[in-house]
Amino acid sequence: MRQAPADADWMAVAIALSRRGRPASAPNPNVGCLIVNNGLVVARGWTQPGGRPHAEAMALTAAGGAAHGATAYVTLEPCAHASPRGPACSDALIAAGIARVVIAAQDPDPRTDGKGIARLQAAGIEVVFNVLPAEARAAMAPWWTRQVEGRPFVTLKLATSLDGRIAMADGSSRWISGARARAHGHLERAQHQAILVGRGTLEADAPKLDVRLDGLEERSPKKLLLTSGKAPEGWAAVASPEAVADVDSLLVEGGAGAASAFLAADRVDRLLLYRAPILIGGGRPALGDIGLTDLGDAHGRWRLGDSRMLGSDRLDVYERIRII
């Protein structure tokens, strides 16, 4: 006989579901919801494009009568505020006869922030919270970062040789990475709301910055240009890393100037390092000055989060260690 999954096991599934909402749920949080009745999954939900329906609403609709007496696993506290676009999820869970709600993270939005939990408890529902909260927050890092810190969650992509070069001395860089690494880069584009390059990259490469993966073309992000001047048609100009507005998730693709500006401003949360098994030697470095004056200060900032081979290239994903 199999061992019954624990709350944390079901929550891990809900967190995986929550990732499906990225980035289309923005500016709403990408939440995941799993409804389990008598040990069986009866419905799954995640925040839909544009932010509605919410994950709980999607799952409750799918569950129908099977929600009665069931446990709902949600990655973020169910909202306590109704809107013209739908009822509060806490009310919907109560109305559906859910018996137990397991929550990963409390909602920092002041319109909910504990009120959802209180409303569920007042209706006699058993509430368990703080189940895998860090994992749930990581899965909705863009929304969380903007909600709590008022700025976008920024991923910096660097595609280099083993010796850290992004191009030959003459600027040629096609191709350093192989086809699988480039496809992965396009998938990352599809998971971001906006993408940014510097003027040098715009002028040298005229990058389209679109998602060139079949079926994902419509996921091409907004295009931002880091410049003190004007942006061409189809682009928005941002004067500094601090000036990026109305974006939850930003992918900085290059070049060295833009990358260094975001690092110098400590505005990078995640590093994607694609490394091809080649040596270039004299060539263009991935970064310029990032404001480091003491080597000791460089330590303790980055933690390896993921590492994998993409063909013969290696992808290392580093996360900025922030003490909150």
Chain positions contacting a copy of itself, by CB under 8 A: 158, 160-165, 168, 172-176, 260, 263-264, 271, 273, 276-283, 285-292, 295, 298-299, 301-304, 307, 309, 312, 314, 316, 318
Annotated binding residue at 50? Answer: no
254 burial level (CB within 10 Å; 0-12, 13-18, 19+): buried
Q: How far is the CB of 322 from a copy of itself (least distance, A)?
A: 15
**Residue 45: other Cβ atoms inside 10 A:** 28
Q: Reduce the DSSP state of residue 88 to 3 states and report it.
A: coil
Question: How distant is the alpha carbon of residue 47 from its chain centre?
Answer: 14
Least distance in Å: CB of 240 to a copy of itself? 17
Task: Between 35 and 287, name the residue whose CB sits nearer to a copy of itself.
Answer: 287
Is 33 among the annotated ligand-binding positions? no
Pick between residue 295 and residue 323 the one whose CB is nearest to a copy of itself: 295
Q: Closer CB to a copy of itself, residue 25 or residue 173?
A: 173
Residue 319 is a catalytic residue: no
CB of 261 to a copy of itself, least distance (A): 11
Structure tokens at 273: 């390092």
Q: Which of 56, 77, 188, 319 is catalytic?
A: 56
Annotated binding-site residue? 26: no
Question: In the numeric block, which tokens belong to residue 48?
Answer: 């839909």
With H, G, I as helix, E, B as strand and everything else as coil, classify residue 225.
Answer: strand
CB 285 within 8 A of CB 244: no
Determine phi and psi for 203, rounding to 5 degrees. Answer: -75, -35
Which is nearest to 80 in space by CA: 50, 59, 110, 57? 110
Q: Among candidates 65, 52, 133, 55, which has minimal Cα distance to 98?
A: 65
181 in a known ligand binding site: no
Beta carbon of residue 43, minimum distance to a copy of itself (angstroms, whole number): 40
Q: 54 or 184: whose CB is closer to a copy of itself?
A: 184
Ligand-binding annotation for 189, yes or no, is yes
| d(C-alpha 57, C-alpha 72), whole Å | 11
Q: Which residues are annotated as a binding site?
A: 54, 79, 89, 159, 173, 175, 189, 201, 205, 209, 212, 228, 253, 255-261
Q: Which residues are annotated as a binding site for NADP(+)?
A: 159, 175, 201, 205, 228, 255-261
Q: Which residues are annotated as a binding site for substrate?
A: 173, 189, 209, 212, 253
List residues with catalytic annotation.
Answer: 56
